């Protein structure tokens, strides 16, 4: 049964939009009139045609992490209640107030009613439902435990969202403090220092070295500040474009893994993400090699992604998981020992879940320490900069008083 997008007027004269499933456009118009709506336009839903050359269409085919978690939880609840998949999709689409979500779910339902599996239907929207999601759903369908798998996916998505929100909330204060520091220093050097130092320049006295340095810095900010800002923006844009080249990105990510502190953070985030993804795929019944391929694709560091690919090839050749990861040299020993223990005891799925939780806790602890130190560091930096500028202004005054005395 095709889906139709409609635009209609309600009793108050306001436009409302939505999606109906019906045999024809005439039936949709009749359904709208039965609801007291005056149809304006009715057209076949063509959400499937997502052209990447159009930004609006590109974004229309995606779901936020929050929306995906909510939809997954609702579908899992309805499936556990014994409803068929197509009825679950229809009910959740009606429950959603977001037209984009409605359109996606209705299109997926149409594919399911055509005889395709739910995973194949979700494949119509790879940005809304990534490889991890679709592979897990396919494994759940094959094993006959779709409700359990979807609940596990919802837990995973909600945990990921909660972790991102904690990091974002923790970053608010340091980012605001950094922006204020830059603004205050630019204001002092560009407007305050030149007016004050001009008084000392007119006296003709020899100025202290610190004052001369601050005056020179102030002249640079005042005369070239805008140019420097434009150059910095251009360099930033050029660097981002350069990092889109695979070879440059690979070299950059490899170097990043050897920078103090940043390396620990990058390795921690990527290994935690890999362990979490691998655990949910393995627990859902996805074969280990296939699970490693998907888990490797979600990594943000291209060098680690390459190492995981090499480990996947070794596992497919018969090497154990912990031995293949150990040969890469980038996974922490605790993680490797826990995986080896799981393989030896035959409880790899359970151990991968523990590894994921352990790695996630380590990353959150490290992030907490870094962010807690970043705020005081910025305060010290701002205080030191302001103190230096104040001393540069006070030193000529002190020297002038000594001359008068």
Q: What is the pLDDT of residues 14-70, one digit of tens each?
A: 877 776 666 677 777 888 888 888 888 877 765 444 434 344 444 446 788 888 888
Q: Which residues of 361-385 are buried (b: 16+ CB within 10 A; e: fewer)?
A: ebbbeebeebbeebeeebeeebeee
More confident residue, 160 or 250: 250
The count of other CB atoms within 10 Å of the CB of residue 136 is 27
Tokens for 279, please give them: 């655990």
How does the average pLDDT of the chain come out, rounded?
80
Instruction: Pull the structure tokens for residue 286.
Output: 């996805």
Per-residue confidence (pLDDT) for residue 264, from 0 to 100:
83
Kindly report the number of other CB atoms within 10 A of residue 180's CB atom. 12
**What CA–CA distances, in Å, run from 124 to 21, 102, 117?**
18, 14, 12
Global pTM reads 0.66
- Closest by CA to 315, choosing from 305, 332, 329, 327, is 327
Could you tell me which residues are beta bridge partners of residue 41?
A: 7
Count CB neighbours of 80 within 10 A: 14
Both structure tokens of 135: 């592979």
Residue 49, phi then psi, degrees to nearest 5: -85, 85
Q: What tens digit of pLDDT does each residue of 211-248 get? A: 788 878 888 877 887 888 899 899 999 998 998 888 99
pLDDT value, residue 23: 67
Q: With 60 as the cut, is the pLDDT of residue 103 above it?
A: yes
Task: Single out the residue of 306, 309, 277 nearest to residue 293, CA to CA.
Answer: 309
Tokens 């990510």 sit at which residue? Answer: 253
How far apart are the C-alpha atoms of 132 and 146, rounded to whole Å? 15
Whether the per-residue pLDDT at 404 is higher than 60: the answer is no
Answer for the pair 402, 208: CB distance below 8 angstroms, yes or no.
no
């Amino acid at each position: 049964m095709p889906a139709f997008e409609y635009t209609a007027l309600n009793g108050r004269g306001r436009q409302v939009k939505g999606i109906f499933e019906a045999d024809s456009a005439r039936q949709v118009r009749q359904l709208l009139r039965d609801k007291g709506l005056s149809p304006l336009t009715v057209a076949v839903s063509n959400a499937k045609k997502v052209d990447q050359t159009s930004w609006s269409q590109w974004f229309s085919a995606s779901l936020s992490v929050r929306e995906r978690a909510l939809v997954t939880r609702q579908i899992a609840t309805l499936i556990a209640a014994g409803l068929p998949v197509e009825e679950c999709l229809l009910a959740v689409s009606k429950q959603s107030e977001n037209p984009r979500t409605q359109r996606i779910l209705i299109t997926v339902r149409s594919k399911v009613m055509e005889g395709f599996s739910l995973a194949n239907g979700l494949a119509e929207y790879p940005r809304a439902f990534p490889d991890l999601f679709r592979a897990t759903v396919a494994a759940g369908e094959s094993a006959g435990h779709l409700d359990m798998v979807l609940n596990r996916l919802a837990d995973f998505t909600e945990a990921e969202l909660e972790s991102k929100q904690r990091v974002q909330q923790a970053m608010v204060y340091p980012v605001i403090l950094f922006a204020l520091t830059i603004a205050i220093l630019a204001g002092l050097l560009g407007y305050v220092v030149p007016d004050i130092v001009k008084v000392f320049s007119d006296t003709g006295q020899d100025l202290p070295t610190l004052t001369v340095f601050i005056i020179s810095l102030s002249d640079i900010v005042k005369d070239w500040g805008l140019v420097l800002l434009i150059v910095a923006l251009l360099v930033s844009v050029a660097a981002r474009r350069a990092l889109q080249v695979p070879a440059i990105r690979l070299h950059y990510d490899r170097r990043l893994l050897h920078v103090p502190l940043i390396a620990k953070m990058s390795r921690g985030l990527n290994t935690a993400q890999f362990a979490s993804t691998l655990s949910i795929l393995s627990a859902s019944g996805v074969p280990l090699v296939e699970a490693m391929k998907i888990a490797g694709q979600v990594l943000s560091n291209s060098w680690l992604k390459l190492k995981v690919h090499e480990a996947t090839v070794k596992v497919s050749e018969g090497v154990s998981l912990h031995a293949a990861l150990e040969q890469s040299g980038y996974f922490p020993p605790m993680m490797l020992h826990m995986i080896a223990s799981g393989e030896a005891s035959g409880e790899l799925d359970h151990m991968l879940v523990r590894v994921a939780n352990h790695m996630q806790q380590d990353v959150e602890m490290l992030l907490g320490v870094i962010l807690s130190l970043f705020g005081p560091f910025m305060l010290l930096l701002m205080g030191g900069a302001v103190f230096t500028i104040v001393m540069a202004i006070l030193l000529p005054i002190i020297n002038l008083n000594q001359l008068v005395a």
